[in-house]
């Protein structure tokens, strides 16, 4: 057992004792035998694959998200928030364990966190609340689908609601024939009530209504859209008429100053390249469908927030809204996630509730990793020394409070992005680098890493690269990139990539 592993084991044991005591204190408080104030509730809203195309983030000039914008006005909006991994399973595993992907070694869509030996007994975020006596419930996608075996589900959340998949039309609607069945978008189904996210919102509404009144609750509600397939009924498409649709800003030569290794992170994926969409005249329909999906899921966020307000418990509830990662819609020549650029890492993050500043905007770099320690602090739990994030408490009190830490995103071993207020620095496993100055280049079009005058900036940013950088855990698969620095051999999803293999930029 390594020194680092021993440290984490002892930290976990110490926390286990501490939260057991905290659980007893909660029970005593509820019984009226303790002066401790009642703990706040938590409403934990996750949105799948939502980038910064949200009204309050100004990521797209036409997007309509009135309910998310209203939530931002009643709390604190983090405009420089980033995911730990640009892929569902490692991102969600990081949020729920409070550990970086470079620490857990979870980089792909498999394995689930409970199938990793070192994480089998790790106390997760929802488990913390369940063990402390909260009523805990979930519906939709909070953990990555299938990552928690059914026999273990009750140890995470006490109540598991429905997590329906997306409905599918009889035939694909996309103009790109064949390919992965998820790569589809268009007007479907005809009624909102047939959508997966309508059913998930309905389940969350029922959980809020039925939550016991004699104990606090932690309710997780995970929406599926705008993850592909991007389906929405006609009313949401009508918000974005094709003849007035504003398309993302792209440069045809945008990849000329990026390392070849940047392609390896998304070498061959189900998500189509921009060239493919353009060839099939399917770029505009995808952008329109993504926007329509966002507005529909915003309406479902509104339904859940309305139910919370009607419950009479909103004043004692911390609301957290987040997305697991962003999504490209043509920028850098691709669609999908799986990159270390702004479009893939930047996400909406809003916290609202008791003792949280209202209508506040924080521009400091923050991470999804910060949610675990923040909620522990806000709900009166002991601090966890094994968690790798930092509480957002100072920023929730005063949004302009500086933070000394950048936001770090990792995609497979050795590939990391460091995001500060002004800079994005990327280092790939082969040592190649990118550097972007967000003060003058918010689109990340000009890589400055090779310029001599940037040497001091690069030196400063390199020191934030993760010191723990584990290889992929056993059983890793799907979106897994392996690199051997000794031989310079590269493998993508188990298939070798030759140094002269042509880049698949139109598939």
Q: Where residue 226 sits, what CATH number does that domain have?
A: 3.40.720.10
Question: Is residue 479 a part of any domain in this protein?
Answer: no
Residue 502 confidence (pLDDT): 96
pLDDT the model gives residue 179: 83
Instruction: Give the residue numbers marked as catalytic.
Output: 88, 144
- pLDDT value at residue 181: 92
Q: Is residue 121 part of a domain?
A: yes
Q: Mean pLDDT over all residues of the chain? A: 93
d(CA 472, CA 254): 30
The per-residue pLDDT for 506 is 84
Cβ atoms of 351 and 319 closer than 8 Å = yes
Q: What is the pLDDT of residue 37?
A: 56
Residues in the chain, pLDDT under 70: 1-37
The predicted pLDDT at position 178 comes to 81
477 in any annotated domain = no
Q: Is residue 491 part of a domain?
A: no
> Looking at the domain assignment, is residue 470 inside a domain?
no
SS3 assignment for 410-459:
ECCCCCEEEECCCEEEEECCCCCEEEEECCCCCCCCCCCCCCHHHHHHHH
What's the domain count of the chain? 1
**What's the whole-model pTM score?**
0.93
With respect to residue 185, please indicate whether it lies within any of the assigned structural domains: yes
Please work out, in degrees rounded to the nearest 5, the angle formed at the alpha carbon of residue 169 by the alpha carbons of 167 and 175: 120
Q: Nearest-5° angle of CA 415, CA 420, CA 424?
A: 45
Name the residue among 267, 272, 290 with its Cα closest to residue 178. 272
- Evaluate whether 305 touches 72 at the Cβ level (below 8 Å): no
**CA 429 – CA 414 distance, rounded (Å):** 4
Q: How many helices (H) and strands (E) are present in the chain, helices listed first?
A: 15, 21
Report helix, strand or coil for 228. Answer: coil
Question: What would the two tokens of residue 427 be?
Answer: 């280092």
pLDDT at 18: 46
pLDDT for the residue 30:
41
* Measured CA angle at 500 (ends 496, 504), to 5 deg: 75
Is residue 458 within 8 A of residue 452, CB to CB? The reply is no
Beta strand extents in 172-289 (DSSP E only): 185-187, 217-226, 230-232
Q: Which letter does DSSP use for residue 191 in this model?
A: S
- Angstrom CA distances, 314 to 204, 308, 310, 418, 457, stand at 14, 6, 8, 36, 45
Q: Is residue 331 one of the residues assigned to a domain?
A: yes
Strand partners, 137: 159, 219
CB 266 within 8 A of CB 339: yes
Residue 15 confidence (pLDDT) = 47
Residue in 507, 461, 478 with CA at minimum distance from that of residue 145: 478
Residue 32 has a pLDDT of 40
Q: Which domain holds residue 321?
A: 3-242+263-406
| Domain assignment present for 451 | no
Peptide bond into 226 cis (omega under 30): yes
**404 burial via Cβ count (<10 Å: 0-12, 13-18, 19+):** exposed
């Amino acid at each position: 057992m390594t020194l680092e592993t021993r440290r984490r084991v002892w930290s976990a044991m110490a926390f286990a004792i501490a939260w057991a005591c905290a659980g007893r204190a909660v029970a005593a408080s509820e019984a009226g035998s303790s002066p401790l104030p009642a703990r706040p509730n938590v409403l934990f809203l996750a949105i799948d694959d939502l980038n910064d195309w949200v009204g309050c983030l100004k990521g797209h000039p036409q997007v309509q998200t009135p309910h998310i914008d209203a939530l931002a006005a009643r709390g604190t909006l983090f405009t420089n928030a980033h995911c730990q991994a640009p892929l569902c399973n490692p991102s969600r595993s990081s949020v729920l364990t409070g550990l970086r992907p470079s620490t857990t070694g979870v980089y792909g869509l498999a394995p689930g966190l409970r199938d990793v030996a070192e994480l089998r007994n790790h106390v997760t975020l929802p488990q913390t609340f369940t063990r402390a006596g909260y009523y805990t419930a979930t519906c939709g996608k909070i953990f990555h689908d299938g990552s928690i075996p059914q026999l273990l589900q009750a140890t995470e959340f006490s109540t598991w609601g429905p997590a329906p998949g997306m409905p599918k039309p009889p035939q694909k609607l996309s103009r790109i024939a064949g390919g992965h069945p998820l790569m589809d978008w268009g007007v479907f189904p005809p009624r909102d009530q047939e959508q997966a996210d309508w059913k998930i919102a309905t389940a969350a509404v029922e959980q809020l209504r039925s939550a016991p009144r004699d104990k606090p609750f932690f309710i997780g509600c995970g929406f599926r859209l705008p993850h592909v397939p991007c389906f929405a009924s006609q009313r949401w498409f009508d918000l974005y008429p094709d003849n007035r649709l504003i398309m993302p800003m792209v440069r045809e030569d945008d990849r000329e100053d990026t390392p070849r290794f940047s392609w390896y992170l998304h070498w061959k994926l189900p998500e189509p390249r921009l060239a493919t969409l353009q060839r099939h005249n399917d770029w505009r329909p995808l952008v329109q469908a993504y926007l329509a999906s966002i507005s529909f899921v915003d309406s479902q966020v509104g339904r859940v927030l309305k139910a919370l307000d009607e419950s009479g418990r909103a004043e004692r509830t911390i609301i957290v809204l987040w997305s697991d990662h962003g999504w490209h819609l043509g920028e850098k020549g691709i669609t999908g996630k799986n990159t270390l650029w702004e479009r893939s890492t930047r996400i909406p993050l809003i916290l609202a509730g008791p003792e949280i500043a209202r209508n506040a905007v924080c521009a400091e770099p923050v991470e999804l990793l910060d949610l675990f320690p923040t909620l522990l602090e806000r709900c009166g739990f002991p601090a966890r020394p094994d968690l790798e994030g930092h509480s957002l408490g100072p920023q929730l009190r005063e949004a302009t409070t500086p933070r000394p830490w950048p936001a770090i995103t990792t995609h497979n071993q050795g590939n990391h992005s460091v995001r500060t207020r002004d800079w994005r620095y990327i280092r790939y496993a082969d040592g190649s680098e990118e550097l972007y100055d967000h003060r003058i280049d918010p689109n990340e079009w000009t890589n400055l890493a090779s310029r001599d005058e940037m040497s001091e900036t690069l030196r400063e940013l390199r020191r934030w690269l993760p010191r723990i950088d584990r290889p992929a855990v056993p059983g890793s698969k799907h979106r897994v990139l392996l690199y051997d620095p000794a031989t310079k051999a590269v493998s993508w999803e188990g298939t070798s990539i030759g140094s002269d293999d042509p880049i698949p930029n139109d598939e």
